[in-house]
A and B are shown apart, each in its own frame.
Chain A
């Protein structure tokens, strides 16, 4: 159910210092999010595609992920052409179609996919543990990083607890339906999950205290900023500034 399918690999991107990847992805994503013209957006889409190819992740899985996200975007393709007030109107009986809406929906689609592809190729290519370590090196508050790591650590444990509870209700003949009884059962499953999580939390905390927990989280990972990481971050920054320049030039 929960997995990190892109984290394993040995491509060029996998070998770049994670801190640089996080910083580059953040800068690039926010820049693309601010673009509104077709030319920079299409350039960004091309750059993102290249980065996915460079990261050597399974393209089939990438398409699957993107398809799921595009289902939400589909809503804009249906609603915007019918409601987006613009100049030209094609009327098909009582239904008015606004070309401006279609243009806007297309821009949203390109932008969304470009941003997500960079998320997949730069950040989903590291394990969550690595992400946590690099965030703590990037001066994200320690408490937040600690919370992140604990949550990640226990998601899989809690998921097993959840499957245990689900098995037991299935053995007792539970079939999910749209009834109050079903909702009550799900509520009790969630309640039980929370109680088990809370009891586990007490045990974990006691164990931490026994081992001398002093209220500080230490990250021992050592990151090496080598030449290729600097080259990578320079190229990404250059490309990002290029996209920004295109947006400014074509924005009339």
Chain B
């Protein structure tokens, strides 16, 4: 989920950059050198996974997966997503330098929020896990869309309709992300529980 270059106003870009810097600082503080290799390789896995196009009727959507990123990495989601966005900017020119901060906030802040909201329930029995994981996947994308819409509205009041359009058009992605997160978390719980129960 990206906001392109050249749309947002200076204050929004700068506050996005400041928030992203603060989040990244917290994440880096928690990330000691013993865990950097692990976080980097997981971040590479998320980068590759986010390129998967999942069919949706006649078209396809690509996954964001920030729900799973949050559950697995916690605060380290900030540096991991920042790095992934920088790679995307260089490889595909999706987003550039000025939107790096706000785009990091759009994806990483919901990941951290959902980590605190839902990860306590993931460890419970299966039924609770299913509900929590679905909510995590769904709301992570929802919060991202809301932050993105907010950034647009703070830029220009006339962006109201565009913001609503962004949120509504992401609704199918939220539903799909919910399913993917649920199945993925159940799978990880069964196959390698150590990945989730850090």
CB within 8 A of A186: which of B45, B84, B97, B180? B180
B179 lies within 8 A of chain A by Cβ? yes
Considering the complex, give the chain A residue whose CB is closest to the CB of B93. Answer: A65
A20 lies within 8 A of chain B by Cβ? no
B7 lies within 8 A of chain A by Cβ? yes
CB within 8 A of B158: which of A101, A198, A202? A101
Q: Of the listed stretches B49-57, B112-120, B139-147, name the one at the interface; the rest are far from the partner chain.
A: B49-57
Q: Which residues of A have CB within 8 Å of B34?
A: 205, 215
Query: CA of A141 to CA of B45 in the docked complex: distance in angstroms?
Result: 23
A33 and B5 within 8 A (CB): yes
* Known pairs A4-B90, A201-B41; A183 contacts B57 (CB<8 A): no
> Of residues 103 to 142 in B, which have CB atoms within 8 Å of A's CB atoms?
none
Considering the complex, give the chain B residue whose CB is closest to the CB of A159. Answer: B48
A155 and B44 within 8 A (CB): yes
Q: Which residues of B have CB within 8 Å of A30?
A: 13, 97-98
B37 and A116 within 8 A (CB): no
Query: CA of A236 to CA of B151 in the docked complex: distance in angstroms?
Result: 30
B83 and A144 within 8 A (CB): yes
The number of residues on chain A lying at the interface, defined by a beta carbon within 8 Å of a beta carbon of chain B, is 88
A184 lies within 8 A of chain B by Cβ? yes
CB within 8 A of A158: which of B4, B44, B54? B44
Q: Which residues of B have CB within 8 Å of A144?
A: 24, 28, 79, 82-83
The number of residue pairs between A and B whose CB atoms lie closer than 8 Å in the complex comes to 242
B5 and A198 within 8 A (CB): no
B77 lies within 8 A of chain A by Cβ? no
A1 lies within 8 A of chain B by Cβ? yes
Considering the complex, give the chain B residue whose CB is closest to the CB of A113. Answer: B6
Query: CA of A206 to CA of B41 in the docked complex: distance in angstroms?
Result: 14
| Shortest CB distance B135–A (Å) | 16
A204 and B37 within 8 A (CB): yes
B168 lies within 8 A of chain A by Cβ? no
A97 lies within 8 A of chain B by Cβ? no
Query: CA of A73 to CA of B3 in the docked complex: distance in angstroms?
Result: 10
Q: Which residues of B have CB within 8 Å of A25?
A: 97
CB within 8 A of B90: which of A123, A162, A191? A123
A131 and B90 within 8 A (CB): yes
A195 and B188 within 8 A (CB): yes
Report which B residues bind A (CB closer than 8 A): 2, 4-8, 10, 13, 24, 28, 31-34, 36-45, 47-49, 51-52, 54-57, 60, 63, 65, 68, 72, 79-80, 82-84, 86-87, 89-94, 96-98, 156, 158, 160-162, 165, 176, 179-184, 187-188, 191-192, 195
Q: Given A147-B80, A182-B55, output 20 extra A-B contacts at Cβ < 8 Å.
A: A30-B97, A33-B98, A66-B93, A69-B93, A69-B94, A79-B162, A104-B156, A108-B6, A115-B98, A119-B97, A128-B90, A146-B33, A149-B40, A151-B80, A186-B180, A189-B52, A194-B49, A198-B38, A204-B37, A204-B41
12 example contacts (A-B, Cβ-Cβ < 8 A) are as follows A72-B4, A79-B162, A112-B7, A116-B5, A143-B31, A151-B41, A158-B48, A176-B54, A178-B56, A187-B179, A191-B191, A205-B37
